[in-house]
Amino acid sequence: MLKRKVLDQLNIWKNKANKKSLIITGARQVGKTFAVREFAKEYPYFTELNFLENPGYTRLFSGALSVEQLIKNIEFEIPGARFEKGRTLLFLDEIQECGEALQSLKFWALDGRYDVIATGSALGMNFKQNVSFPVGYVEYIDMYALDFEEFLWARGITERSIEDLKESFHLYAPVSGAIHSKMVSLLKEYMVTGGMPEVVTAFCEGGIREADEVQRRIYRDYLNDIAHYAPADIRIKARDCYRSVPVQLTQENHKFQYSVVEKKATASKFTTSIEWLMSSYIVKKICNIKRFDYPLKAFSDESNFRLYMTDIGLLVSTFDFSLKQAILADEEMENPTVNIVLGLAKGGLYESLVADMLIKGGHKDIYFYKEPKNTSEIEFVLEGEEGILPIEVKAGRKKANSLNKILESDRIKRGWKLSLQNAGVSGKRVTLPIYMLMFL
């Protein structure tokens, strides 16, 4: 059984004095339903309604939406359903299929006697139903596939071992050669499998071939879901944008270019499609900043951006299986690869790996910096407790020239170079192995 961090968030919600209804949203197949069922073990009574598997359940919400009437409808329909104050969890799964159930979250929250969790694929949540959304009566948790730390748990790495690594991270201290080598190996595994729960399970039980088959099916499912849920006028465009992401990220210039999607294409034609993909949690848009200043958002250029898939495994699965073999077999990750399959894609893949870890780590506002003359580039820029944090990603041992230049500014206290080298500090520049990013 896969251990998920979201269970800690659910327990925090459960213990709130005046909680609202909870919506867990995210892309399909990231483990939302599994997490709620596991969490339901905290309650004496649990009732689940899945509107996708059982469309007939929508009739339970077709009349009055008072809590008393809804309880009567549910208890009549589902033998064994029981509602007791403070002891019952009602789970409304795939709620995007029933607009009235979505509306009912307001009344469950106002009533306050029972805990109610709804889950829904973002591929349908925001666009399918023309109903009154229960604004002010719901709380949210955005859920993604397994992050790298959760992947480590699945691979049998103990929390104690991870805590030891975390201590090294806070000290910016190198770890032993044996541990570093093992972590690099595990990072490469994560790079090719990603965190989709079914994929991770297949990998742990059957190996990379079995995991690859599951990945490719999920990727096809996503394309089919886009065709099913996206508004009719953008379905084809949204699919084309999503399918272009791997190509965009493995080019020397990772900036999203509409011409890669379609010759002579313009922003006006595809902007809505990209916004829809973003709201579906399957891609993340990261914009360029014009300068390092507060707040970063004020200096971002919405027209100059990169798109990243929110799961590194799905990105890698869009290529031939030989790419995965090349990643796992490349023993000299710090040096330029001689593997023709990995080739120029190497830098873009490591950049995408870092994006995956930042996104799943809960970082909402992520930017990059690239000078107009292309003389300096910082792959990721964040705002944190210590101010602006520039992060340069290097697949090899190249010098972090762009980062060194940025660190000349008195406004920047510290910068990170992420690679597969062990940890170390040189002035304001901190070198960290990518796997330590899970502690940021």
Q: What's the whole-model pTM score?
A: 0.94
Task: Write the CB contacts of 85 (distance below 8 Å, at least 6 apart in sequence).
Answer: 113, 114
Q: Give the domains, in start order, of the chain with CATH numbers.
A: 6-142 (3.40.50.300), 148-439 (no CATH)
pLDDT digits (tens, 9 = 90+) for 165-218: 999 999 999 999 999 999 999 999 999 999 999 999 999 999 999 999 999 999
What confidence category does residue 244 fall into, taking pLDDT thresholds of 50, 70 and 90?
Answer: very high
**Given pLDDT bands bounded at 50, 70 and 90, which one contains residue 397?**
low
pLDDT of residue 124: 62
Q: Is the pLDDT of residue 271 over 90?
A: yes
Backbone angles phi, psi at 333, to 5 degrees: -65, -25
Q: What angle do CA 26, 324, 361 make, to 5 degrees?
A: 35
**Residue pLDDT, tens place only, 112-149:** 999 999 998 767 665 445 567 888 999 999 999 999 99
**What is the Cα Rg of the chain in Å?**
23
State the DSSP string of 380-391: EEEEETTEEEEE
Measured distance CA(427)–CA(416) in Å, rounded: 11
Q: What are phi and psi of 134, to 5 degrees?
A: -75, 60
- Looking at the DSSP bridge assignments, the partners of residue 380 are 391
| pLDDT tens figures, 28-45 | 999 999 999 999 999 999
